[in-house]
Structure formats: C-alpha cells, structure tokens
Amino acid sequence: MLDRKLSPWGLGLLVFGVLAGSYVLTLLVFGFQLSPTNLLAIPLIALPVAAAVQLAVTNRLLNRQLDKMVRTQTLSLPEPSKRQPHRLLEHFRALLRPEGWLLAEDGDLLENHGMSLAEAPPLPEPGEWQHQQQQSWIRLTRGETSYVIGLTLRNDLSREVIQHFLHKLELDSQPATGPLSPGFGHSPRLRKVILASERLAQMQAFISNSFEHMPDGIIVTDELGVIRIANQHIEDWFREPMPSITGMPLTSLLEGHDPKDTPPWHEVISETLTLKESRTLDLTVHGKDFLVHFAPFELPEHGQFGIIANISDISELREQQRQHREAIDFISHDVRSPLVSQLALIEQLKRDPASIDELHLDQLRMLARRSYNLAEEFVQLARAEQLTEPRFYECELLAIVENARDSVYEQAQRKNISLQLIGTEDLWMRGNAELLERAVINLLTNAVQYSPEDATVSIHVYRAAHLACLAIADEGCGIDTDELPYLFDRYHRQKRSELAGTLGAGLGLSFVKTVVEKHRGEIKVDSLPDEGTTFTLRFPISDPML
C-alpha cells in the first residue's frame, strides 16, 4: 500500500521520523546521546532509503504489468513452424476443395484420397511447393518429424492462381532473428518491454488495417455524437478530407442528405444516444444509394454511450431492383401487347375462316416479328450484361464490321442506301466477336432506318494511337438535343420514333453501350436535328506496340 499512498518525499519523512524516534528512544531509555554530526546524517540516510523502497515497489508493479502485457493474446498470425500439418490439410480442403489430398509422416501414410506417395516428386527443400500439372506437393518439418502434404487441384482456370497463392504461403519454420544487440541479452525486463511493445504495435496495426479494409463505411462517435474515428470509405463517399471529418459532429456530415419521409438526422442521432436504440435508414450521397445503421455502444471508463454507424453502398442493388421493375414492365406491356393482338386476330379468323386474306396474314406476320424482335433484344442485352473478360479472345475489328455491313446490306438496298466502308488496317483486340458484331448491326440498322432513300451511310474503321476506332455516320433526321442524355437508357425511345410509328423497345442502344463498356471501350454521339448522326466507338488494341 505504500506505493499508492506515499510519495518519495512522504516516505522520506516517514523514514526520518522513524530514525528520529529511535534517537529519542535511545536517549531516554539507554541515556545514549548521538553527536550533532550523527544527527545531521539522519535526513541524509532517510531520503536514499525512501527512494530505494519506492523504487523497489515501482519495480514490482512494473514487472507485474510487463508480465501481464507479455501474456496478453497477440493478434498476429501463428508462427509457420507451429501450424500442425493435419490442421493445414484440413484448412486446405475447406478452402480449396481439392479433388484429392494426402498427408504422410516420416514416410507413413496418415490420410489420403485419390493420391499416393509414389506420385510425389523429390522434395529437397522443406516449405517449398512443387507442382506437377494438377498436383501440388510440399514437405514440412516439425521438430525431428518430416511431413508431406499433397493436393490434387481442379483442372480449370483457377488452378494456376491457386498454385501461385500456395507459393506465397510460409508454412515451414523460418530462421530465428538474432538479439537486438549484445548488451540487451542480459536485461530480462528490457526484453519484456520490447516484446510487449511489439505486441501492442501488432495489435494496433491489425485493428487499423482491418478497420480500413472493411467493405462498409464505419464511423465511431463519442457521447456527444462527434466523429472520433472513420475509415477511408467515408472520406471517399462524402468527399471530405479525413482531418475535417475527425472532430466533426455526425449531424454536420449527414446534413443535406436527409432521408425522405423520416425525421431529420439530428433527431435520429440524439434518439440513438438518449434512448440507446439502433436505427436503420436510407441515405443518398452524390448520386449513390446507401443504407445506414446506427448502433449505440458503451464507451470505456465513464459509462457513457457513443454511436457506431455502419454505411453500406447499395447502389448496385438499387440499380438491379430498378432494372428488375423495368424488365417486368417491359414483359407485361411491350411483349404481351403484340401477343394479345395476335391472339385476338386469330380468334377473329377462327370465327370467320372465309375472311382470311393476305392483309390478315401480313398483320400476323408483323405482330409475330415484333414479338420476336422484342424478345431478341431483351435476350441480347442480358447476354451482354453477363459478358466477362475471361471469355474474351483475339478478334479483328475490320472483319467484324464487314460481317455487320453484309448483314444489313439487304435492308439498305430496299431504300437504295449506300454503305461505304473506309478502312483497310487490321485492328486486333480482345473481345467477343459475336456481341461486337451484333452491336455494330444495331448501329447500322438504326442508320439505315432513320436515313432517307438514296442516302449514304459511311463506315470508317481506323486506328488512333493505341485505340481501334469505328465511326458510323448517317444523313438521317438526327437526334434532338434534349434526347441525347437519355439516348442509351433502357426502354427509352425518341419522340420522333414514336411519332413516326417506328417499332422497337428502346433496348438496341442500351445493348450497344453495354457491349462497348464490357470491352473497356467508350462510345460518343454527335448529332443535330436534320443534320444526321455519328456514333464513334473506341476500343483498346490488344497489343498497342504493334
């Protein structure tokens, strides 16, 4: 208890009092009197003794705290040499789902499935993976015992990636690091301080890295709703620098983004702190949709409550919901409408078969073709949205454009429209030739459809730096300026098309843009009413050095 109640000066006075009392007791009982010099020595002795006692108590406390810190569980990964081989195999099987596996100890087979030790290659270096097509092998040492692990991976595109991942794992014992310096080896306390400091640094780095790499935005406030911690997502989404966010009231950050039909942010935050109840609300920031969850939590030491706000980006989910609603509307109206008309016409002809003539057959043919075209556009757009780069291959842009031109040649001939192709250079790119050709056909079909008779549609294929370019220009009616921002939206049809009775679902240009973006390209439109339209497509060349 001395270390908690007495300072060094107080302890010195206590020692001085004990020595002075001893002097008085000696004088009264034994009649022995010290000299003035000895009396002066009492305070000189008292202070060092007090300091020594205080230092001893402090050392005991420090040792206890250091022992406690050293025993604290570390957040760093276990050392590779301490990972048991049977646990490693269990984890490999859970993570990689191999087709076969094997575990052997000093040449004795412990566990296997579809593999044998006879298939193992030489494994001279412990901890080094050896790969033989689908099979991967490694030898591990644990003390005096040698283990062999074998895996048979799936023979697909993921095999090479998994083998590269295995190479980067450190699974065998590593050389121990030497002492910090010759003088440090004789100080157990210093070693404990260094070890405790390293573990605290590891824990802090682990928490910091985990916090920053969370998929959601995280905000932590104090008891007054002032932001004390925020991760990088918050800075990016709200476009506020981190120094400004830290110390800002949470209500100030959220002001101007109030959710619809709900209380303002200051009421939500104050109720979360005072009522200690979680809340979940929608949030829109700079055109992106988020879901915000507020949860109260108890702060350390003084028992007050702060807020943890979890902010999830649900923009993609909202877009999928919107597309789903549009698809249902499209199927329920645009697709069903011609089918209903066909059924009505068929029922009419069934009642009076003698009235069937060429006009009725033409009507049925038109309605059936419209239904087919609507379904085809919808299916093609779905295919384009599911396109991924692993399904790309080398294709040549000029050949794709020539095939697309040939596909619309008959349609152009009916209006005596000339399709002029300019370009002779082969421009190779990685992509899906079928969908690219379908996109070019859509653009050429539109150019022919909206051009007057005896017009010319020019098709220019050329190279610009490291880009393969395609420009399709027509002499048609053009596009109104107020229509341009919505030109590539799903189910959007121009007013001119509606007035002219041109059939379509408004999916063609949306399909073109989707295909271009999937190929990491860009599309540009230049148009003025009654002056024609030019669509320009640019794609990265597969080997720009050629």
Count CB neighbours of 320 within 10 A.
11
Cα–Cα distance measured from residue 25 to residue 75, given in angstroms and rounded to the nearest whole number: 60
| Cα→Cα distances 183→32, 54, 114, 189, 202, Å | 51, 27, 56, 13, 25
Cα–Cα distance measured from residue 215 to residue 217, given in angstroms and rounded to the nearest whole number: 7
- The sign of the torsion formed by the CA atoms of 274, 277, 278, 280 equals negative
10 Å CB burial of residue 215 (0-12, 13-18, 19+) is exposed
Query: Residue 334's pLDDT band (boundaries 50, 70, 90)?
Result: low
Q: CA gyration radius for the chain?
A: 40
What number is the average pLDDT over the span 112-116?
A: 93
Tokens linked to 472 = 């399709």
Q: What is the pLDDT of residue 358?
A: 78
Q: What is the pLDDT of residue 377?
A: 73
Q: Return the minimum-mean-pLDDT range out of 128-137, 166-175, 509-518.
A: 166-175
Tokens linked to 433 = 């030739």
Given a contact cutoff of 8 angstroms between Cβ atoms, the answer to whether 220 and 228 are in contact is: yes
Write the DSSP assignment of 103-120 as a string of letters: EEETTEEEEEES--GGGP
What number is the average pLDDT over the span 430-459?
A: 92
**Collapsed DSSP state (helix, strand, coil) of residue 284:** strand
Cα–Cα distance measured from residue 381 to residue 376, given in angstroms and rounded to the nearest whole number: 9
Per-residue model confidence as pLDDT tens digits over 336-349: 677 777 777 777 77
Given a contact cutoff of 8 angstroms between Cβ atoms, the answer to whether 54 and 11 are in contact is: yes
Sequence-ordered strand ranges (E) for 215-278: 217-221, 227-230
Q: What is the pLDDT of residue 182?
A: 46
Cα–Cα distance measured from residue 140 to residue 123, given in angstroms and rounded to the nearest whole number: 10
Residue 162 has pLDDT above 70, yes or no: yes
What number is the average pLDDT over the span 387-405?
A: 88
Query: Residue 278's pLDDT band (boundaries 50, 70, 90)?
Result: very high
Count CB neighbours of 331 within 10 A.
13
Given a contact cutoff of 8 angstroms between Cβ atoms, the answer to whether 290 and 313 are in contact is: yes
Q: What share of the chain is helix, strand, coil (3-state, %, to 5)?
A: 50, 20, 30
Cα–Cα distance measured from residue 428 to residue 543, given in angstroms and rounded to the nearest whole number: 8
For residues 437 and 32, the model is more confident at: 437
**Collapsed DSSP state (helix, strand, coil) of residue 81:** helix
- According to DSSP H, which parts of 330-426 are helical? 336-351, 358-385, 397-414
Closest CA to 467 of 543, 526, 401: 543
Closest CA to 515 of 457, 428, 433: 433
Tokens linked to 461 = 């294929």
Pick from 16-20, 317-321, 532-536 the range whose average pLDDT is largest: 532-536
Q: What percent of the chain has pLDDT over 90?
A: 36
Q: Return the minimum-mean-pLDDT range out of 2-11, 320-329, 367-376.
A: 2-11
